[in-house]
Structure 1
Amino acid sequence: MATPDFTEQTKALDATLTSIEKVLDLDAVRKEIAELQEEVGAPDLWDDQANAQRVTGRLSTLQAEVERVTGLRQRLDDVEIMHEMGAEEGDSDTLADADNELVRIKKAIDSLEIRTLLSGEYDERDALVSIRSGAGGVDAADFALMLQRMYIRWAERHGYTVEVYDVSYAEEAGIKSTTFAVKAPYAYGTLSVEAGTHRLVRISPFDNQGRRQTSFAAIEVVPVLEQTDEIDIPEEEIRVDVYRSSGPGGQSVNTTDSAVRLTHIPTGTVVSCQNEKSQLQNKASAMVILKAKLLALKKAEERAHLDELRGDVQASWGDQMRNYVLNPYQMVKDLRTDYETGNTQAVLDGEIDDFIEAGIRWRREHAAA
């Protein structure tokens, strides 16, 4: 017989999972899977590679989504049986295993519940993340590099693909800026709450007097666009510059002028790409980034116009949003949600899921207010 406390926890998790299943509408998802499987079976599917990649990618995403939900449902059923058997037989080891599994299931269900909060127009898309060092000199450049590593490590922990498009290295240490894509379902919706100004406080390793230094870095997150998105840029509005790719310290990593910089003349938006050996490939990748940034700019202007009509004069929530304090104490704190942890090294190693989940819940609450 399961203990009352364990039974209450499983009932609460069952109710949450049932609510998630309704929001996700698994019957509709399975219907779409069947339709996509028919498209995948068509002999001419790969005649249009872009469409084929879209279809197969969507199919894989939906199948993984169904497997994730049904897998959690099965685990919840199994853990109840495990706990009942342990209680009937007085087996403390089995009861402890059941309790530990229930904790893991709760964390997985909480994470899945966060996914149901991502319902924005572009939340399903891949994410383009740009990091730019701010005030703080060489410490800010080093901080920008630390943040790039943090997000790449976060993506690796989840098995997500990261493609670095451009890195501009600082002279002494760190980077001036970087742009990279995180390719995963709902990457944009998930990472968009990371946009804003991040602040680092520490004893500077670059100060021979060992003084404490405050530095800043800005993070921008925009969705990767698809061919069907309405963004048309006339050729005469773009200036194209080519140059040689370079690595840390200005060391040449490419002997030809293959890196590409695009400038959108009307808005002054500048993007660069140097990760490919071919100039044409770099130009194509840079155009992807430029279109994404122009769409984000268009959406921001629309929001600003609506705020003006409503008389909304509040500053954007994504300004200064997180502090990383390494001295005189250890603390990472989100200024919007008040979520904090003293395990600064784990955060900088990519353990930022709790910050992201708190940010998504915070955004939903404020959007509904």
Structure 2
Amino acid sequence: MADMDPAEKIKELAATLTSVTAVLDMDAMQTQIAELREQSADPELWSDQGNAQRVTRQLSALESMVSKVEGIRRRLDDLGVLYELAETEDDPDTRGEADRELEQLRKDIGDLEVRTLLNGPYDEREAIVSINSQAGGIDAADWAQMLQRMYMRWAERRGFPTEVYETSYAEEAGIKSTSFLVKAQFAYGTLRGEHGTHRLVRISPFDNQNRRQTSFAGVDVVPVVEQSDSIEIDESDLRVDVYRASGPGGQGVNTTDSAVRITHLPTGLVVSCQNERSQLQNKATAMTMLQAKLLARKREEEQAEIDEIRGESFSSWGTQMRNYVLHPYQNVKDVRTGVETGNTSGVLDGEIDTFIDAEIRWMRSREKDGEN
């Protein structure tokens, strides 16, 4: 493609955009937008806060998608004019600007193409991300905190709001666990491939002999539960513990026992929340997290039954999925997709879209193979 005429490159990108928008079904989007606008204009909508937020969130996401597609179309048209101007004026600077815009359009259309792959039953939901330190002692706790920062920076780069539900700090450094919400449509579909074990190799900053240390942290991603989901929880199946919220190093950050930990006895699932000062609010949030985890477990069990009938298994997604090597060389590599980079500092600062896009494509190809 490097030797192609710019007009041909633009034509090829325009054809790709047409294919992508056909899959997105822009006419159906416009119809849905009109229906949602009508609902949002109803004064009675806000009598149900949950439904009102769902309607406004969905409307905003659809309008944003339509605006993005229309903007890319305009930019493709303008790009042809820019190349013509560069040719007419024989202006290298204008040609360079056009080349940069061409590459950016290729990336933006590629992002739209990935969006068409997010068609799972829960992909459009917001996501709850949980991180737990595993083998590796202090380094594992520090690694879990580094991962938390990585995902927070990724969300910040994309303009996605986040809300930390709970963080359990380790005694010396780092965290034992954390759970946080990524509040964006399709956050779950985008992040679900991050589920699994993340392995770090580096010179330990906590070892006075400067030895190399391998540490592990587990990442779990589940979709937020909505009212339409049938997840029944029997109160008798729950053990609810309250305790005082703590900060780094075990420092108390609340003078009352407002933090809540809920154990689901039949499954052994444990969730906790300490971000609010009210015990009732923390319990409500913890219940939301528990419902999300139970929904994810239900989905996994249903998928396991389908795989058993089919005689195949795709359940290996939860195994080790990415290696981060900081010594003796710099490399981050995804075990499943093979995508890798030497820009470890960028990755740890949230530049993980290349990995995420490859995961989405990889998972969709596996799912399509399973359908056949």
Question: Shorter-chain TM-score category?
Answer: over 0.9
| CA drift at 1:23 | 0.8
The aligned counterpart of 2:113 is 113
The aligned counterpart of 1:150 is 150
1:45 aligns with 2:36: no
Question: Where does structure 1 lack aligned partners over 5 or more consecutive residues?
Answer: none
| CA drift at 1:305 | 2.1
Mapped to 2, the partners of 1:207 and 1:4 lie a distance apart of 55
**1:79, 1:102 within 8 Å by CA — same for their partners in 2?**
yes
The aligned counterpart of 2:92 is 92
Give the 3 Å change call, closer, same or farther, for CA 229–314 of structure 1 in structure 2.
closer
The aligned counterpart of 1:241 is 241
Mapped to 1, the partners of 2:286 and 2:31 lie a distance apart of 37
**2:304, 2:313 within 8 Å by CA — same for their partners in 1?**
no
Mapped to 2, the partners of 1:281 and 1:219 lie a distance apart of 25
The aligned counterpart of 1:181 is 181
**2:324, 2:344 within 8 Å by CA — same for their partners in 1?**
yes
Moved over 4 A (4+): none
| CA drift at 1:367 | 1.9
Deviation digits for residues 240-297 of structure 1, max 9, x if unmatched? 1111100011110000010001111111111000000100100010011000000111
Deviation digits for residues 218-258 of structure 1, max 9, x if unmatched? 11100001111111111111111111100011110000010
Q: Secondary structure at the match of 1:117?
A: coil
Deviation digits for residues 165-186 of structure 1, max 9, x if unmatched? 0111111110111100101110
Mapped to 2, the partners of 1:368 and 1:33 lie a distance apart of 30
Mapped to 2, the partners of 1:217 and 1:69 lie a distance apart of 38
How many pairs does the alignment contain?
Answer: 367
Mapped to 2, the partners of 1:231 and 1:10 lie a distance apart of 49
* Counterpart amino acid of residue 64 in structure 2: A
Note the aligned Cα RMSD (angstroms). 1.2
Deviation digits for residues 188-241 of structure 1, max 9, x if unmatched? 000001110100000000011110000001111000011111111111111111
The aligned counterpart of 2:302 is 302
* TM score, norm. by length of structure 1: 0.97
Give the 3 Å change call, closer, same or farther, for CA 299–332 of structure 1 in structure 2.
same
* Counterpart amino acid of residue 233 in structure 1: I
Identity percentage of aligned residues: 64
1:17 aligns with 2:17: yes
* Counterpart amino acid of residue 283 in structure 2: K
The aligned counterpart of 1:284 is 284
**1:193, 1:318 within 8 Å by CA — same for their partners in 2?**
no
Question: Following superposition of structure 1 onto structure 2, how do residues 119-138 of structure 1 map, counting pairs within 5 Å?
Answer: 119-138=119-138
The aligned counterpart of 1:364 is 364
1:327 aligns with 2:331: no
* Counterpart amino acid of residue 167 in structure 1: T
**1:322, 1:332 within 8 Å by CA — same for their partners in 2?**
yes
Mapped to 1, the partners of 2:273 and 2:120 lie a distance apart of 28
Q: Secondary structure at the match of 1:316?
A: helix
Mapped to 2, the partners of 1:63 and 1:17 lie a distance apart of 18
1:342 aligns with 2:366: no
**2:129, 2:181 within 8 Å by CA — same for their partners in 1?**
yes
Give the 3 Å change call, closer, same or farther, for CA 164–355 of structure 1 in structure 2.
same
* Counterpart amino acid of residue 253 in structure 1: V
